[in-house]
Structure 1
Amino acid sequence: MRRVFWCLCLLVGLSIGFASVGKAQNALIKDFSRWSDLATKTEDALDADDTESTVLEDLRNQVVEFRAEFDAASDLNAARIATLREQIAALGEPPADETSGSEPPDVAAQRADLNEQLSSLLTPVQQAEAQFVRADALVSQIDQSLRERQTQQLLSTAPIPLNPIHWEQAIKDLTASVKTLMQQTPDMQPELQGVDLRTDLPVTIVLGLLGLALIFRGRFWSRMIATSLQRIGGRGFGIWRFLASLLRIVLPFGGLNLLALSAISTGLFGPALNEMFLLFAFLGGIMLAVRWVAERVFSRDDDEALIPLAAGKRREVRFHVTVITVLIILSELIYQILAVDEVAAASRSVLGFPMTVLVAVSLYRIGLILRGYKNAQLAETEEDETRVATMARFVGGLGTGAVVVAIVAPLLAAAGYFRAADALMPPYIMTLVVLGAVMAFQRFAADVYGAITGQGEQARDALMPVLFGLILLAVATPLLALIWGARVTDLTELWSGFLRGFAVGDTRISPTDFLTFAIIFALGYVLTHLLKTALRSNVLPKTQIEIGAQNAIVSGVGYVGIFLAALAAITGAGIDLSSLAIVAGALSVGIGFGLQNIVSNFVSGIILLIERPISEGDWIEVGGQMGHVRDISVRSTRIETFDKTDMIVPNADLVSGTVTNYTRGNTTGRVIVTVGVAYGTDTKKVEEMLREIAEEQPMVMTTPPPTILFVNFGADALEFEVRCFLRDVHFMLVVKSDINHAIAARFAEEGIEIPFAQRDVWLRNPEALRAASDAKNGNDKADEVPT
């Protein structure tokens, strides 16, 4: 009965599972039906040339939603499919033909049932994958079509603004738009305007006064708030000054909005003019922000200027930035006024051309100043451009770009390519503003880091602020893309493609896989480090294992732990390395030849850790150099010489070469001292004295006792050797020096001479030398003149 009960439970579970699978498949079938209609509609819209861009954008959003559903459906029943494939693989390969034998009927039936289940589960998944490819292709086609239309708009031409024919019409259009804007009636009824004005008059007055106070007193209040915060917070003056500069934006911007709300609350103006008030407040905030960036980058204080130009140059840049922002605000207000009425096509380009020229002049001056900064830095580096600071090259490049844009944009506008000029100069100006803001916030992050670490202004040259700057630049990259005309959908498409990852063989690796791999490997690495620390400090010191073996065990545990962490990370991330087997096999040959020395040293390092012919702390001699082994790593061994210098020896040299280990197993060692005495000295007495001197040394071992050897009749002396074993061979030189001092003192007391080298010089044919000398003396006498 129990078996019957469990069989019934299993059948019920399978029926529920297949029922849920059936529901999911039915839902997918319905989605496929709706998707087919949408895909056909999208393809027809792409084929039509008169389809509006807004329609394509709407269709794209719907296609993207279906693509996300198909992407999620590709993993439908993944666990069940993997189980069925494992079951089929467990049955083995079916017979290839009749000669190979027949498969048992029950096995064949089970295989057929499993294949049928697998086919039913794979059908919706395969359909989802196929439709995902179709949806992705449609999204790409829509994006390409929208980009082509955007390009055509940039290359479209308008009437040339330099033609005087269009000037009068442009002025008429502007005057008519202003009249239309001022003649718009409020939304409320005329008889209620006076009542509402009297009712809302206190609110209007309060909002206006607060707005004016924030605009004209905001700078003073921000300075006062920063001073108070500095008293409370203490150090970090740059931080409070930065916060005060932000308040100089926030408070006036709030004042502009309050003034706009005050004007709107009167109810005397029409909807378009109310929108103009809000637009003016918004543009005023932009002007304040741009001015703030200029004040930070080209500060009045020499120490706070992010680009260290001369004071006059910084003042000129700030002036031109103000001019540019005012002109851009005026041009934007003019465009909004022209949008109230239907105006001629040439009016916009005619009225915008003077603003473009004036902005180009200021931008040209800024570009020249920035280029001058690079030239000044180049002159200070002895005409070696490779030694110019990165900052100077970056600023000089921005200056060159500003000069080019300032020349090209007015020419395009003058030729009628108004949209192209509008898509070139304002984005470049906004790019300069964004980069300046990144520099300002990077300096603020450096000041915060310096206040936290106590480094102060020195932290501005540290590594962490540079990393902060790179992070800020990465965050600002999407904003820069939007400024230069990229659509939000382009960025979302890049992000979705990034999340989907890339395919390697049959395996798709996504950022989540990398994140999972990094987390698992980091946890494994941390656990390995904790285990090594516990073994080194708590476990192994309590055993009788020598220090070299302890270090070998700790190193081995570290290598094994890192290997297991990497294996667990690869398995946990679901990365299938079987697809890389062919590539790895092809690369292994080249890697084997190119990295054979590294592999040899790695294997030698493992041999050193296992066999332990040398251990950390041993005194060894290799290649004519002596020192103590301080660290045995994977590739090399670090030896500290007696000069306190580190010698890095490849592990292969220690395994294949000749190595002398003075302290292997113990620290005992022998020292040999040679001494010579003059001929005629009592050799037995010398031997006795040398033995007494050796036995008096505290480091000399008594077992075995010191040995005194009369080793040779030398050319100048009778040669003796003092051979004795020391308890610690590290004191060999000290003991040898002490023995020499004792020998010198004892021999002096006993009158024993330590001879130095003596040689007899024999002259061959001395009579020839004597005759030559006599002949020379005779010649000298003949040359004498009598006085």
Structure 2
Amino acid sequence: MSNLPVIFAHLWRSLVLLILLTLTLQANANEFATERLDALSAQLSVAETAFRQQTRQDISKLDNLTTTAANLEQSAKTCITQQEQQQTQTQQAMDSLGEATTDEDADVKRKRKELTEQKQQIEKTLSQCRLISLRATTLLIEARQARQTLLKQQLFAHSASVFDYAQVILLEPGIWKTEINGMLHTFGNLPLHRNNVWMALLYGVAGLVAGMFWSIQKRRQYRETLPPIHATSPTLAAVWISLLRFLPYTLFTGLTSLSLYFSPPGVPIILQLMQMLLLFSLSYGVMHSLLRRAVQVEGVVPPNQRTGHKLYFWARLLIITTLIGTIFHSPLLDSATQASTDPSHLVGLIRIVIGTVVGFSLARLIWLMSDHFLFIQRIRLHWLAAGTLVIAVLSLYAGYRNFAVFLFSGVFGTLFLLLAAWLLLKIPTEIFDGLDAGATPWQQRLRQQLGLRNNQLVPGLLWVRLTNTLVVSGVALILSLRLWGMPEQNFTLLLTQLTSGIQLGGFTLEPLRIVSGLLILALLVSLTHVFKKNLAESWLRRTTLSRGAREAITTVSGYAGILFAILIGLSVAGIQFENLAIIAGALSVGIGFGLQNIVNNFVSGLILLFERPIRRGDWISVGTAEGYVRDISIRSTTIQTFDHSDIIVPNSQIISGQVTNMMLNDNFGRVIIPVNVAYGADTERVMAVLQEAANAHPLVLKDRSDMKINVFFRSFGDHALQFELRCFIRDIETKARVTSDLNLTIDKALRQQEIPMPFTRSEPYTWSGKTVKSQDLS
């Protein structure tokens, strides 16, 4: 006991040394934070100066400033978080020293002073971080507002209208000659990198020739029979056929675009034309194949010959005018002459005319396609597109060229996105439906490997469907937002949040991890069924366990595998299991109020699986329900009656009620056949006939002492002598057939022995007691 003060003194000094080490590390972190803050402040000052000194605002410069301000704001927030954590740790260390006293140890006083100074330094650093965060946030808001204002000004910048262009062309007849000469001069003096262009064309021609030979070979093959993938997915087969049909053009435009992308031609419009040709060839080919009568795709109605000609006419007109419009909307033609910077009136008029034709062609094409693509009617896409295109054409006539180009680009891009999204949703859906139905041989083999019965859905496939829908819809939505004007910084921030997670209070929602969790869940649930199939059909068959024990192990293994898959899926999705205590508490309250029956059935299901009073395939009787046990799940038991109707019985009724199991220990069963003969018949001969009939049947047991054949003379009835045959059969499931066989045998034997069978004759009487003969009834 005398050593206790010494021990406490050593412990106190150790604690002080530990605090000293911690504070030293924190001081180093603070020194690093101070240096970093100086750099951040200097960088922010440069960005603020650049923003204030802009004489002419530029979108690209504003984008760079917005990115810089966003990064500085994020760094400042990180600094604030770190300093607040250090502030909390320092305050906890000061609290651990207790209140200051006059007689405390000198080391404690020194450490208390150091902690106080460090707290002041942290508060100072924290103030600087908050100031930088405020400045960065202010700069970010101002840069975004300036960008939005500039975009609005550019988008709604007014230029000459169609009437202005027409008036100049009509009143000044010679101006169009000058502007034509200017256009010819522009086209004749393009700053082309001819070597790059010729090399790109060489690659394109090589792809064109190779694609032509391969396309001809494959199309000859598919003229006789459809491609093998048609049974798996008709839509995928249609896309494949379209790729084969337009493969030469696709390879030409694709390889040329790829070559021009890495080796620029000097004139951007050439690369844009090749990229548009590539998109148009793919889209035109896919729609052409989907609308063929030979390819039956759900949701697509093939057109008749007349409507088909209309569709192809408007599609070709749209492609040609769009390509011409791309050329005339090039900045190369924004000047009337070489010496003038004013827009060309003739080019402006041509732009308006081409824009009108493009808008009308696209609206007409979408309107015609709405009768054949049902999803267009379902979402009223033809009305939306037609309204937007009318606004775009009117804007073009009024002189708002930038706004019209924005609307045209948005409609074109949205249509391409919708077509791609529809294909990415349609093709997997057809494959998944085929897996659930076993439509093709490879899908049937896969279902066999999973141990699935007919009309049973593939386990886990629901989550794959959901994942595919979420991913495709999400990507299409994000790209649509970017297409319709989402700033690049917001787009990058959205992608970053999708990758790193979105903070919702104290919970971090990570979409990519959630998608990964759904895929892992689907995969593990499918593997669980494969494991159950192998466990039941291969591994457990080699053991000496009974059939009921094997089924119980298989069922419990399946539920354990699904539980394991759920836990792994939740873990991959980023769900913290320590937060599940709240869910468990809520479930306990729910169980106490509304989930008693469900929990009762769940526990009863576990008892049925382990105690095995009934097994799959048993013939049982529960209340008014009688039939074979087809399935025993955790919640309920399925009984199939003799007329093939299914009865779902909660497990709690089976455990708490009376159940008759004809096949619990064995399949033996007893058959009782009552026989009535007329008075005067030889009773010994009757009993001998019944005995011989039972002995002659092969399914009747004859060699067991506890299951003998018994014939009884039961009683003297009102109209007949009553006998009864009792015997046991090997399989209770054959009871109806054995009863029928014995009845036929007994009837035949009684006829041969001339033993009369009784029959009851009914005679009607009047109220007076007289008998009425049958001929008088008429």
The question of a shared fold, defined as TM-score above 0.5 by the shorter chain, is answered with yes
Between 1:627-636 and 1:12-21, the stretch displaced more is: 12-21
Aligned AA (1:743): I
Aligned 8 A contact 2:186 2:333 in 1: no
Where does residue 671 of structure 1 map in the other structure? 671
Counterpart check, 1:715 vs 2:718: yes
Counterpart check, 1:27 vs 2:10: no
SS in 2 for 1:617: coil
Aligned 8 A contact 1:637 1:650 in 2: yes
Q: Structure 2 CA distance, aligned partners of 1:523 and 1:21? A: 47
User: Over alpha carbons, which structure has the higher Rg?
Assistant: 1
The equivalences for 1:396-475 within 5 A come to 397-436=380-419
1:409-448 deviations in Å (ceiling 9; x for gaps): 2322333433222221233134334545667899999999
Q: Structure 2 CA distance, aligned partners of 1:317 and 1:175? A: 29
Q: Structure 1 CA distance, aligned partners of 2:52 and 2:622? A: 79
Aligned 8 A contact 2:334 2:341 in 1: no
The equivalences for 1:177-256 within 5 A come to 222-228=211-217, 239=240, 242-243=243-244, 245-251=246-252
Between 1:593-602 and 1:652-661, the stretch displaced more is: 593-602
Between 1:741-750 and 1:45-54, the stretch displaced more is: 45-54
Aligned 8 A contact 1:67 1:136 in 2: yes
Aligned AA (2:740): S
Counterpart check, 1:60 vs 2:63: no
Counterpart check, 1:285 vs 2:274: yes
1:735-773 deviations in Å (ceiling 9; x for gaps): 222322232132223322221112344444379999xx9
Q: Structure 1 CA distance, aligned partners of 2:128 and 2:687? A: 101
Change (3 A) 1:224 1:471: farther
Change (3 A) 1:229 1:534: closer
Aligned AA (1:758): R
Where does residue 311 of structure 2 map in the other structure? 314
Shift of 1:520: 7.1
Aligned 8 A contact 1:207 1:261 in 2: no
Aligned AA (1:425): F
Between 1:170-179 and 1:652-661, the stretch displaced more is: 170-179
Aligned 8 A contact 1:291 1:321 in 2: no
Where does residue 626 of structure 2 map in the other structure? 626
The equivalences for 1:75-86 within 5 A come to none
Aligned 8 A contact 2:392 2:407 in 1: yes
Total equivalences in the alignment: 695
Aligned 8 A contact 2:161 2:399 in 1: yes
Q: Structure 1 CA distance, aligned partners of 2:41 and 2:677? A: 112
* Aligned partner of 1:367 among 360, 363, 370: 363
1:348-397 deviations in Å (ceiling 9; x for gaps): 7884354234322343244234324545x6xxxxxxxxxxx734516x84
Where does residue 782 of structure 1 map in the other structure? none
Shift of 1:552: 1.7
Where does residue 609 of structure 2 map in the other structure? 609
Between 1:573-582 and 1:420-429, the stretch displaced more is: 573-582
Counterpart check, 1:355 vs 2:351: yes
SS in 2 for 1:723: strand
TM-score (norm 2): 0.70
Change (3 A) 1:138 1:670: farther
Aligned 8 A contact 2:622 2:659 in 1: yes
Change (3 A) 1:253 1:627: closer
Shift of 1:318: 2.7
Q: Structure 2 CA distance, aligned partners of 1:576 and 1:523? A: 21
Aligned 8 A contact 1:177 1:340 in 2: yes
Shift of 1:545: 3.3
Q: Structure 2 CA distance, aligned partners of 1:684 and 1:483? A: 100
Change (3 A) 1:568 1:608: same
Counterpart check, 1:703 vs 2:686: no
The equivalences for 1:12-161 within 5 A come to 24-39=29-44, 52=57, 53-66=59-72, 142-143=143-144, 145-161=146-162
Where does residue 374 of structure 2 map in the other structure? 390
SS in 2 for 1:724: strand
The equivalences for 1:487-498 within 5 A come to 487-498=487-498
Q: Structure 1 CA distance, aligned partners of 2:362 and 2:520? A: 51
1:151-192 deviations in Å (ceiling 9; x for gaps): 3433343344423666669969957966996998999xxxxx
Counterpart check, 1:163 vs 2:169: no
TM-score (norm 1): 0.69
Aligned AA (1:686): V
Q: Structure 2 CA distance, aligned partners of 1:137 and 1:579? A: 37
Which runs of no fewer than 5 residues in structure 2 stay unpaired? 1-14, 229-236, 444-460
Aligned 8 A contact 1:227 1:240 in 2: no
Aligned 8 A contact 1:438 1:469 in 2: no
SS in 1 for 2:246: helix
Aligned 8 A contact 1:170 1:348 in 2: no
Aligned 8 A contact 2:178 2:337 in 1: no
The equivalences for 1:565-714 within 5 A come to 565-567=565-567, 570=570, 575-576=575-576, 598-698=598-698, 699-700=700-701, 701-714=704-717
Q: Structure 1 CA distance, aligned partners of 2:717 and 2:638? A: 43
Aligned 8 A contact 2:693 2:742 in 1: yes
Q: Structure 2 CA distance, aligned partners of 1:526 and 1:261? A: 45
Where does residue 332 of structure 1 map in the other structure? 329
Aligned AA (2:390): I
Shift of 1:57: 2.1
- Superposed CA RMSD in Å reads 5.9
Aligned 8 A contact 1:532 1:557 in 2: yes
Shift of 1:620: 0.9
1:670-715 deviations in Å (ceiling 9; x for gaps): 2211111112334344334434433444423442323333333322
Q: Structure 1 CA distance, aligned partners of 2:344 and 2:149? A: 24
1:289-343 deviations in Å (ceiling 9; x for gaps): 2541463155399458988442321231133213422331232236555399786
Aligned AA (2:316): F
Where does residue 757 of structure 1 map in the other structure? 760
Aligned 8 A contact 2:636 2:651 in 1: yes
SS in 1 for 2:637: strand
Q: Structure 2 CA distance, aligned partners of 1:339 and 1:20? A: 70
Q: Structure 2 CA distance, aligned partners of 1:123 and 1:421? A: 55
Change (3 A) 1:24 1:537: farther
Q: Structure 2 CA distance, aligned partners of 1:621 and 1:39? A: 82
Q: Structure 1 CA distance, aligned partners of 2:528 and 2:658? A: 34
Where does residue 299 of structure 1 map in the other structure? 288
Between 1:670-679 and 1:168-177, the stretch displaced more is: 168-177
Between 1:150-159 and 1:247-256, the stretch displaced more is: 247-256
Q: Structure 2 CA distance, aligned partners of 1:548 and 1:620? A: 15
Where does residue 783 of structure 1 map in the other structure? none
SS in 2 for 1:626: strand
Change (3 A) 1:437 1:340: farther
Counterpart check, 1:746 vs 2:749: yes
Same amino acid, percent of matched pairs: 26
Aligned 8 A contact 2:208 2:251 in 1: no
Q: Structure 2 CA distance, aligned partners of 1:129 and 1:740? A: 100
Change (3 A) 1:397 1:331: farther
Aligned 8 A contact 2:671 2:729 in 1: yes
Between 1:751-760 and 1:51-60, the stretch displaced more is: 51-60
Change (3 A) 1:329 1:34: same
Change (3 A) 1:522 1:368: closer
SS in 2 for 1:712: strand
Shift of 1:716: 1.9
Change (3 A) 1:245 1:446: farther
Aligned 8 A contact 2:333 2:347 in 1: no
SS in 2 for 1:338: coil
Q: Structure 2 CA distance, aligned partners of 1:564 and 1:730? A: 39
Aligned 8 A contact 2:514 2:572 in 1: no
SS in 1 for 2:750: helix
